[in-house]
């Protein structure tokens, strides 16, 4: 690939009045809004079964389903998510980040429309399958696009907006299902995809993807739209071009016989270590039961608080509201707190909450005296949602878009997101069996033990990525966490390099 230098262009011609009117931060937020709303549709898909199944199982329902059919309706959405992640990673590398989002928005809208018009069990499964596939499609492109179009100072909070949108989508789905029939709720969900599609139409393509394809003029135009026209941004873009040319030159030399360059980029430490780290992170997050509450909210509420206590629909909405507020808090924490301390605090709190809930539920079901204190179970459950929501849930999605090198970002994000949804399907499908075998208290105990083991493993392998450019993160994985920490200490006080750097040079490299 040869990057041709474009002819000199008049800055006054490039900088339109429309772009001048909004700050670079506002334009970055606009670019991130499309993926964030698409992620909200993923949350709606996750929460839809909690309002769909009770309505289908009501005595007066036109469609009667068995327990096995209910399990398949709940798990049909997670089933194709893994395939969707692989396709999403392939689409964003082949067609571009923006085009991938436009396609998945159409797919989402079709799935919701199929659900809204479903009149039989197979049609419901078809709608759930399409929306589940779309959930997988949105996973890799959303985090990668936001990471490649945002400044390092704002990358964490914008990436956390994805998980905030997922939590908000679950709440919206439950609200729609509380006040409307499930067909109307599905139709309302489809309207969000129109908004997401229009937002992506006015947003630029990722400068990193354009530059990797040798389209320097288009890449510069996109970068200027996102980051502004000041001298610092000009210097930053020139550094990006230099970095791309250096990578291309190294690759060419490697093909001619260089030992390092001849090895596949997928065998290098900077790809393998992020892959292993995120696989552990996603497994810990899913097998701590984070989506069980969303999928089986009403059934869990009946068991946890008792059928004669607080209305289970009201309790479900309380839990949803807590999840949304927690996701908002996570956005703020990711702006000010490092990834490692947040992950450790979240893992420890999740473990304590799950084990505590398990123990209390055991006494509640065994000793009649404790049945009058069923509201304490709700407190434990809310504590669990708070702790899992501030770290274990948002962090792996945030890191998916920032830990892989640009050359392997599509496959890496696709593989890890795909693995997440494989675990997602396994947890949702085995949940009812686990409840029936060891009871709800035993199920929470199993999830608590897994959370503990995963947190201990993450303590060993999870690096810190807060406020670091994408190139610095890549170098950190290449060296190893200990060596990178030693290098930071050698650089100077506070771990800052004594060599001047342009802010955010590697944000999109």
Residue 493 has pLDDT above 60, yes or no: no
pLDDT at 54: 82
Contact (Cβ atoms closer than 8 angstroms) between residue 464 and residue 395: no
Please indicate, yes or no, if residue 262 is contained in any of the structural domains: no
Helices (H), 95-181: 97-116, 121-149, 152-179
Residues 107 and 194 in one domain: yes
pLDDT at 19: 54
Residues 194 and 277 in one domain: no
Please indicate, yes or no, if residue 317 is contained in any of the structural domains: yes
Q: Encode burial over 237-247: b for 16+ CB neighbours within 10 A, e otherwise.
A: bebbbebbeeb
Residues 317 and 417 in one domain: yes
Residues 290 and 428 in one domain: yes
Contact (Cβ atoms closer than 8 angstroms) between residue 462 and residue 273: no
Residue 488 has pLDDT above 60, yes or no: no
Q: Closest Cα to residue 244, out of 13, 3, 438, 42?
A: 3
Q: Token match 């993926």: residue? A: 35
Residues 306 and 176 in one domain: no
pLDDT at 448: 92
Contact (Cβ atoms closer than 8 angstroms) between residue 232 and residue 224: no
Higher pLDDT, 498 or 60: 60
Please indicate, yes or no, if residue 28 is contained in any of the structural domains: yes
Residues 155 and 271 in one domain: no
Residues 199 and 271 in one domain: no
Question: In angstroms, rounded to a whole number, what is the distance separating the alpha carbons of residues 116 and 94?
Answer: 32
Higher pLDDT, 152 or 44: 44
CATH of residue 153's domain is 1.20.1250.20
Please indicate, yes or no, if residue 221 is contained in any of the structural domains: no
Domain with 123, as residue range(s), is: 19-203
Q: Closest Cα to residue 86, out of 73, 100, 98?
A: 100
Number of H helices, E strands in the chain: 23, 0
pLDDT at 170: 85
Please indicate, yes or no, if residue 62 is contained in any of the structural domains: yes
Q: What does the block give as tokens for 444?
A: 């929470």
Please indicate, yes or no, if residue 196 is contained in any of the structural domains: yes
Section 368-373 average pLDDT: 62
Handedness of CA 436, 438, 443, 447 (dihedral sign): negative
HEC assignment per residue over 192-242: HHHHHHHHHHCCCCCHHHHHHCCCHHHHHHHHHHHHCCCHHHHHHHHHHHH
pLDDT at 104: 92
What DSSP state is assigned to residue 131? H
Residue 406 has pLDDT above 70, yes or no: yes
Confidence band (pLDDT; 50, 70, 90) for 308? low
pLDDT at 8: 41
pLDDT at 304: 61
Please indicate, yes or no, if residue 215 is contained in any of the structural domains: no
Residues 164 and 283 in one domain: no
Residues 85, 90, 173, CA angle at the centre, nearest 5°? 30
Question: In angstroms, rounded to a whole number, what is the distance separating the alpha carbons of residues 164 and 389?
Answer: 9
What phi and psi, each to the nearest 5 degrees, are found at residue 415? -65, -45
Residues 190 and 296 in one domain: no
Confidence band (pLDDT; 50, 70, 90) for 30? very high
Q: What does the block give as tokens for 68?
A: 């096995």
Residue 219 neighbours by CB distance under 10 Å: 27
Please indicate, yes or no, if residue 355 is contained in any of the structural domains: yes
pLDDT at 205: 92
Residue 138 has pLDDT above 70, yes or no: yes
Confidence band (pLDDT; 50, 70, 90) for 21? low
List pLDDT tens digits, range 249-298: 665 555 554 444 446 777 777 788 889 999 999 999 999 988 777 666 66
Residues 329 and 424 in one domain: yes
Share the mean pLDDT of the chain.
79
Domain count, the chain: 2
* Highest mean predicted confidence (pLDDT) among 252-266, 330-344, 442-456: 442-456
Confidence band (pLDDT; 50, 70, 90) for 367? low
Residues 185 and 315 in one domain: no
List pLDDT tens digits, range 33-85: 999 999 999 989 988 887 888 888 777 777 877 777 887 887 788 778 888 88
Q: What does the block give as tokens for 501?
A: 């750097």
Q: What does the block give as tokens for 322?
A: 């807590």
Q: What is the pTM of this model?
A: 0.73
pLDDT at 13: 36
Residues 136 and 58 in one domain: yes
């Amino acid at each position: 690939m040869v990057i041709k230098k474009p002819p000199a262009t008049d800055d006054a011609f490039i900088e339109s009045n429309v772009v001048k009117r909004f700050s670079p931060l506002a334009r970055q937020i606009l670019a991130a809004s499309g993926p964030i709303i698409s992620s909200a549709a993923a949350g709606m898909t996750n929460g839809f079964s909690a309002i769909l199944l009770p309505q289908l199982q009501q005595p007066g329902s036109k469609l009667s389903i068995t327990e096995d059919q209910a399990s398949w309706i709940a798990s049909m959405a997670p089933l194709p998510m893994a395939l969707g992640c692989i396709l999403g990673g392939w689409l964003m590398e082949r067609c571009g980040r923006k085009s991938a989002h436009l396609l998945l928005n159409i797919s989402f809208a079709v799935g919701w429309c199929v659900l809204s018009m479903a009149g039989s069990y197979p049609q419901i499964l078809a709608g759930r399958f399409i929306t589940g596939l779309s959930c997988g499609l949105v996973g890799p492109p959303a985090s990668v696009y936001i990471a490649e179009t945002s400044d390092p100072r704002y990358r964490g909070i914008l990436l956390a907006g994805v998980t905030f949108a997922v939590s908000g989508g679950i709440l919206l789905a439950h609200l729609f299902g509380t006040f409307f029939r499930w067909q109307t709720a599905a139709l309302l969900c489809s309207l969000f995809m129109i908004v997401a599609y229009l937002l992506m139409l006015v947003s630029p393509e990722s400068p990193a993807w354009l530059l990797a394809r040798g389209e320097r003029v288009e890449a510069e135009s996109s970068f200027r739209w996102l980051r502004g026209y000041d001298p610092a941004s000009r210097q930053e873009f020139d550094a990006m071009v230099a970095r791309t040319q250096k990578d291309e030159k190294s690759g060419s030399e490697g093909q001619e016989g260089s030992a390092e360059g001849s090895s596949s980029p997928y065998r290098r430490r900077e790809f393998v270590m992020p892959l292993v780290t995120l696989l552990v992170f996603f497994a810990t997050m899913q097998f701590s039961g984070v989506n069980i509450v969303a999928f089986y909210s009403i059934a869990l509420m009946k068991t946890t608080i008792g059928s004669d206590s607080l209305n289970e629909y009201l309790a479900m909405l309380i839990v949803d509201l807590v999840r949304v507020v927690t996701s908002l808090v996570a956005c703020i924490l990711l702006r000010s707190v490092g990834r490692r301390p947040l992950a450790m605090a979240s893992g420890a709190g999740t473990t304590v909450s799950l084990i505590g809930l398990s123990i209390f539920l055991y006494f509640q079901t065994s000793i009649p005296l404790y049945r009058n204190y069923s509201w304490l179970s709700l407190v434990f459950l809310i504590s669990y949602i708070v702790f899992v929501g501030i770290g274990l849930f948002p962090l792996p999605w945030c890191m998916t878009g920032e830990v892989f090198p640009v050359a392997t970002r599509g496959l890496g994000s696709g593989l890890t997101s795909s693995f997440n949804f494989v675990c997602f399907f396994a947890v949702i499908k085995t949940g009812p069996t686990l409840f029936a075998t060891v009871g709800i208290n035993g199920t929470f105990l199993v999830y608590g033990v897994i959370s503990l083991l995963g947190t201990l493993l993450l303590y060993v392998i999870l690096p810190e990525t807060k406020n670091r450019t994408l190139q610095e993160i890549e170098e950190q994985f290449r060296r190893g966490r200990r060596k990178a920490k030693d290098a930071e200490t050698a650089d100077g006080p506070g771990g800052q390099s004594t060599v001047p750097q342009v802010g955010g040079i590697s944000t999109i490299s």
